[in-house]
């Protein structure tokens, strides 16, 4: 099987590479932009058949220069939700994806692609239906625009097209994302450098640290992508989260306790962590007022109906594994 992964040096893309290799698939063409050269580290250890810069890849793929390609796992995008350049966002996340979709359909190549829970924005229901899609930023709109193109063509598509609305993904190989890295990543480094973890205070009717999200471990994201790769008859747009909303307090507790466990210290509950100053609350930032999702929780009805019964890790389990990886990598 020949597979192309766009965004291959990025967070989810680099983990997908290892998932593919784990299935014995090593005819993998990696596509990315290594202007930020340090991202090469995410490719270390992955078995690839080729690497291409994204500027070279898209026109060459459209011309059919790579021969028979079974599937494209399209992760390449601008994922910065604070990017306000709408022209850039739509060129990168919509037009590029639309052209890739057209080329895949013309060449008999399956397309599995990254959408986003940002398509729901201000909604309080997270089900894959237009009535619940209210993006709060141009990033979310760019993803929704492409999802809507897929909706219009998917029933007549000659081969599999599947989009995954990622919720709050965390895990190894996200260090290059800077401010857009996960809460767990930032908590680990805050605790390592300052001995405390900081959370937003009360906002949106939620108490300090009680805003909640559907946090999903990247290994689970990989597992679902690979399930669809192995089940080519399944197509559509699917939520990809744990189906479980947990407060940011849970992430902080899991991070601190996992770090403490590595030093042989017993776990503490939230109140004890607060009393000892290991977790602290800060004022909610003005820049995020009106632009912040206080609650997300993936409705997995459609994913389960497709036959994917993957069991997702909870925050305590996933964050503990991630902290071990971060600490071992730092060492």
Question: Which residues have a catalytic role annotated?
Answer: 139, 177
SS3 at position 152: helix
DSSP 20-36: HHHTT--EEEEEE--SS
Q: Cβ contacts of residue 118 below 8 Å, gap of 6+?
A: 81, 135, 136, 137, 139, 140, 143
Tokens standing for residue 44: 């270390």
- Pair 12, 75: CB distance under 8 Å: yes
Q: What does the alpha-carbon distance between residue 53 and residue 231 come to, in Å, rounded to a whole number? A: 29
Torsion sign (Cα): 42, 43, 45, 46: positive
Exposed e or buried b for every residue in 180-193, given b needs 16+ CB within 10 A? ebbbbbbbbebbee
Whether the CA torsion 57, 114, 151, 230 is positive or negative: it is positive
DSSP letter at 77 equals S
Helix 218-229 crosses helix 11-22 at what angle (to 10 degrees)? 50
CB atoms within 10 A of CB 37: 8
Give rounded-to-5 percent helix, strand, coil for the chain.
Answer: 45, 20, 35
Q: 45: phi > 0 → left, psi -120 to 50 → alpha, else beta; which? A: left
């Amino acid at each position: 099987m020949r597979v192309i992964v766009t965004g291959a040096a990025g967070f989810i893309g680099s983990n997908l590479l290892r998932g593919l290799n784990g299935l014995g698939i090593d005819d993998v063409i990696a596509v990315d932009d290594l202007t930020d050269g340090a991202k090469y580290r995410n490719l270390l250890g992955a078995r690839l058949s080729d690497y291409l810069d994204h500027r070279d890849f898209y026109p060459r793929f459209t011309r059919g220069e790579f021969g028979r390609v079974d599937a494209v796992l399209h992760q390449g995008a601008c994922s910065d939700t604070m990017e306000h350049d709408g022209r850039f966002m739509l060129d990168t996340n919509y037009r590029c994806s639309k052209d890739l979709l057209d080329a895949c359909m013309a060449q008999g190549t399956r397309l599995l692609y990254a959408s986003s829970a940002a398509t729901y924005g201000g909604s309080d229901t997270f089900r894959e239906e237009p009535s619940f899609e209210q993006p709060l930023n141009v990033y979310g709109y760019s993803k929704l625009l492409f999802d809507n193109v897929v909706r219009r063509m998917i029933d007549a598509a000659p081969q599999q097209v599947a989009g995954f609305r990622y919720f709050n993904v965390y895990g190894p190989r996200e260090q290059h994302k800077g401010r857009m890295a996960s809460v767990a990543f930032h908590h680990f480094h805050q605790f390592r450098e300052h001995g405390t973890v900081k959370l937003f205070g009360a906002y949106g009717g939620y108490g300090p640290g009680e805003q909640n999200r559907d946090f999903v471990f990247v290994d689970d994201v990989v597992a679902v992508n690979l399930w669809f790769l192995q089940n080519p008859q399944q197509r559509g747009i699917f939520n990809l989260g744990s189906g479980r909303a947990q407060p940011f307090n849970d992430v902080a507790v899991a991070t601190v306790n996992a770090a403490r466990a590595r030093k042989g210290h017993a776990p503490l509950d939230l109140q004890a962590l607060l009393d000892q100053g290991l977790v602290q609350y800060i004022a909610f930032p003005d820049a995020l007022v009106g632009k912040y999702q206080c609650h997300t929780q993936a409705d997995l009805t459609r994913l389960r109906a497709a036959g994917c019964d993957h069991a997702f890790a909870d925050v305590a389990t996933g964050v503990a594994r991630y902290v071990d990886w971060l600490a071992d990598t730092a060492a």
